[in-house]
Copies of this chain bind each other. A is one copy, B any other.
Amino acid sequence: MQWRKMVLGQPLKTRDVESGQVGVWEGLSILAPDALSSVAYGTQEIIIVLMMAGTAALWYSLPISAIIVLLLSFLVIGYRQIIAAYPGGGGAYVIGRDTIGPNAGLMAGAALMVDYTLTVAVSVTAGVAALVSAFPFLLPWSVPLCVVVVLFMTVVNLRGVRESARLFAPPTYIFIVMVLSMVVAGLLKHDPTAQPFHQDIDPIGLAAVAPMLLLRAFSSGSSALTGVEAISNGVPIFLQPGVRRARTALMLLGLFLGSMFLGTSLIAYRFHIHVTATSKVTVLQLLANDIFGHGIFFYVLSFITMSILAVAANTSFAGFPQLASVMARDQWMPRMFMARGDRLVYQNGIVVLGTVAAILVIVFNANTDSLIPLYAVGVYMSFTIALISLAKKRLSEPHAPGRGATVVVGIFGGILTATVVVISIIAKFTHGAYMVVIAIPLIVLGLRAIRRHYQAVTEMIQIQHFEIKPVASRLVVIVPVASVNKMTRESLSYALSMNPDELVVLHVAISPEQAAQIQERWNKWDLDRRIKLVVIQSQYRSVIRPLVRYIDHFRNLLHPGKVVVVIPEMVVDRFWKNLLHNHMAMTLQAVLLFRRQVVVTVVPFKLDPEQIKTD
């Protein structure tokens, strides 16, 4: 307990719910890094695809970025309305469930849960990979380092939302300030070689770029928007009024992300930034170098970019448990995801997320590049479901304010996001996207099976007839014994306290000598005649089988009575000593689990010199 308090901090009372919540800026530092970190690679992804058609095609990065920012504004508008409608969080899952149907909600939920798990694995590996490339002697320790980082994040999040906000706010805000400064400086800098945006473009060269390539560039670049949904899932982490704070946070996220992303694309074009899939330096690094030179800004930005990539994982630690708890409330997820821990966080969600991410890192040997294609597909599936659901919802609400605009935003946004899903699956099908196509339906089936089970249980155990009361019945107590000793005496004391109608002390003998020996010791004890000793000879040296046969015999005789098997179990002070005893009690309990009318009472007997002395 002491140790637990040291790691997790003082437990919080349930009514202290506010001490587990945060304001707008703290909330943003938890829920924004996933989205903001995309600035580190969003523009780059567009340039890499366009470079396949030559440098002339790079001009397209400007309209493509503009469309992505337009999509971002649709998402911000849409999700702000979803937050208002669902103050309990759950985003795409809840609106999909309520508007289109449970399967749509489940698909969105499953896609997001997969995505959150992948985000942790991929982000942590990316952060550690950057660290290792700076300090190559750490290379053999990549996997353990990743696991330590995941463990660290798990513990910080178990300590509470505030703790994680405090720790991860600095890199987030430093990253925002640095990128925006660079964008402003880059736009204002006087440079004769800078490429003007309104330059005359060679129309033939541009027309030669295949539309499919443009779609792929759009689809790749739109990975910059993953993480925008996190705030809608995590509404309950904000202090009251939570909805207002969450909506403000989302607006701020949209403004930051939009200006950073569009700004980066603009200055990347202005400074002729060319990168390909094999480049060792990033667009952000090239820009820093061109604008501020190879100095302190370059190194700080490189370091802070690496940090924000790792911190992005923290968004999942907020998003996953919140989403899982909402889905558990609807019985689609195991009940344990609803339990709040010592520090009021959904601790099982945090622990499961950390464990699965750590396993992914270990299985993929800290080389999670192959998981990246799986990413965007899941998030954009949930975007599509959220936007289409919102449009459908508004269509059925004739008097909602701003109804027409929302419907347009929902439908047009939904078409754009669905395009990204389709293009991503086609472009990266053989690179892993096929796994999403298989995994998400399988997970949905699993979630449905969970609910089916819970509903079957509820139906089966609920009392229909309150006039049926629990009643006492005839009771037979059977005490299996290995020999006559103090454990036997203790078990018999319990058995006698239960006032049974019949009390049988049962010994299974492997040899006739053993049978004679126990009978002799029993006679020496000279107990009440009503307690009878029954000795069974086991021809096949098994103790359990004759025991169970004897118990079954009583169960049949007794109907509708009850059999209680009272059985002593040795409790040892060192774990290895368990190997020295045969744990008949546990075995018998397991064997009798499926039989009606019979229960097992284990009488633990601790080897305690104190206890013995009193005898």
Contact = CB atoms under 8 A, between A and B. Distances in A.
Given A11-B540, A456-B607, A460-B609, A601 B486 contact: no
A615 B571 contact: no
B475 A489 contact: no
Interface string A134-160: 000000000000000000000000000
A190 interface: no
B493 A579 contact: no
Given A462-B486, A494-B599, A606-B594, A580 B471 contact: no
A184 interface: no
Interface in A194-241: none
Contacts of A524: 466
Given A340-B541, A580-B454, A606 B615 contact: no
Question: For the complex formed by this chain, how many copies does it contain in all?
Answer: 2
Nearest to A489: B470
Interface in A41-92: none
Interface stretch (A114-122, A298-306, A388-396, A495-503): A495-503
A496 B468 contact: no
Contact of A468 (B469, B579, B615): B615
Contact of A335 (B340, B491, B580, B604): B580
Contacts of A460: 486, 607, 609, 612
Given A14-B539, A461-B487, A599 B602 contact: yes
A603 interface: yes
A328 to B, nearest CB: 10
A279 interface: no
B599 A571 contact: no
Nearest to A562: B497
Contacts of A596: 606, 611
A510 interface: yes
Contacts of A602: 589, 599-600
A461 B473 contact: no
Contacts of A557: none
B486 A473 contact: no
A577 interface: yes
Given A334-B580, A486-B460, A571-B593, A14 B540 contact: yes
A484 interface: yes
Given A470-B493, A496-B471, A601-B600, A594 B570 contact: no
Interface residues of A, number: 89
A130 interface: no
Nearest to A528: B469
Nearest to A524: B466
Contact of A472 (B461, B496, B593, B611): B496
Contact of A464 (B340, B454, B499, B615): B615
A463 B486 contact: yes
A593 B570 CA distance: 10
Contacts of A489: 463, 468-470
Contact of A493 (B471, B566, B612): B471
* Residue from the set A450, A460, A539, A605 with the largest chain B CB neighbour count within 10 Å: A460
Nearest to A446: B576
A494 to B, nearest CB: 6
Contacts of A472: 493, 496-497, 499
B470 A527 contact: yes
Contact of A13 (B487, B496, B539): B539
Nearest to A566: B599
Contacts of A485: 461-463
Given A466-B524, A470-B527, A599-B601, A577 B453 contact: yes
A365 interface: no
A395 to B, nearest CB: 36
A26 interface: no
B487 A582 contact: no
A342 interface: yes
A529 interface: no
B470 A564 contact: no
Most chain B CB within 10 A, of A492, A493, A538, is at: A493
Interface string A569-584: 0111000010111100
Interface string A373-387: 000000000000000
Nearest to A1: B545
Nearest to A465: B615
A572 B581 CA distance: 29
B475 A498 contact: yes
A422 B63 CA distance: 85
A601 B342 contact: no
A369 to B, nearest CB: 27
Contacts of A593: 571, 604, 606
A602 B340 CA distance: 26
A511 interface: yes
A600 B524 CA distance: 30
Contacts of A579: 334, 336
A277 interface: no
8 nearest A-B pairs in the assembled complex, by CB-CB distance = A470-B492, A472-B496, A499-B499, A461-B485, A601-B601, A498-B498, A475-B497, A470-B493
9 contacts: A334-B579, A461-B487, A469-B489, A470-B527, A475-B498, A493-B562, A494-B562, A497-B562, A599-B601
Given A14-B511, A498-B564, 5 more contacts: A14-B538, A460-B607, A463-B485, A468-B489, A497-B562
